[in-house]
Amino acid sequence: MDEEFRRRLAGLFERGAAQDAAEPDRLRRLRNLEPATAELLTLVLRIAGAREVVEIGTSNGYSAMWLADAARDTGGRVTTVDVAEWPGVAENLAGLGVTRVIEDGGAYLARRESASVDLLFLDAERTRYAGWWPHPARVLRPGGVLAIDNVLSHPAEVADVLALIAVDSAFVAATVPVGKGLHLGWRR
C-alpha cells in the first residue's frame, strides 16, 4: 500500500469516527473496521491467496478499499454487498475495481454458486448471520476463509452464528482479539 492511499484511508477512518460519534442512530453510523483489524484481515487475504473476495456490509467503502488493495497482490477481485446506497461510496471506491451490489446479504449469498468464494467478510447486521446459514459456509471453497468482525464488542449478536461455526466440522476457527474482535474460520 502506498503512502498516499494509506493517508486516504486514515482520513476516511477519522471522518467516519467523527460522524459516528455525532450520530445517535446506530443504523446510520458508518461503523468502519478498525485499522488494526483491516491490517490483519488483508494479511490473511494475501496469505490465503484469495482471488474471489466478498464483503457483506459496504458502508462508506472503507474496508472494501483495504480488501481491494490486498486483492491486487493476489490477482483477485472484490465484490461488496450492502442493502443501501451510502453517500460517497462510489467516489471512495472509484478506480479500485470493486464490484458493488445493492442487495440483502443473505439473498446475495443464497444465489451465489457453491465453493465460489475464497474470502467472505461479514460486517453487516450481525444478528442476521445465523439466518443466512448455511450459505456463508456453502459459498466458501475448500481452503477459503470466513471472517466476522465485532465478535468481542457484540458477543450476544454473533453468538448464534459462532455456535453454528463451532459445530460445523468443515471449519477450523478462532477469535483474534484485534480491534473489536475478528473471528476467522478456515474451511477444510
Cell numbers given for 67: 480488501
- Overall number of domains in the chain: 1
Q: What CATH number is associated with residue 91?
A: 3.40.50.150
What domain range includes position 182? 31-187
Tell me whether residue 19 is in a domain: no
Is 83 part of a structural domain of the chain? Answer: yes
68-85 per-position pLDDT tens digit:
999 999 999 999 999 998
What whole-number distance in Å separates Cα of residue 176 and Cα of residue 147?
10
Residue 25 counted as domain residue: no
- Is residue 17, in this structure, part of any structural domain at all? no
Instruction: Tell me the per-residue pLDDT of 43-56, one tens digit each, with 9 for 90 and over.
Output: 999 999 999 999 99
Does residue 13 belong to any structural domain of this protein? no
The alpha-carbon radius of gyration of the chain (Å, integer) is: 15
- pLDDT tens, position by position, 106-137: 999 999 999 999 999 999 999 999 999 999 99
Bridge-based pairing state of the strands 182-187 and 140-149: antiparallel
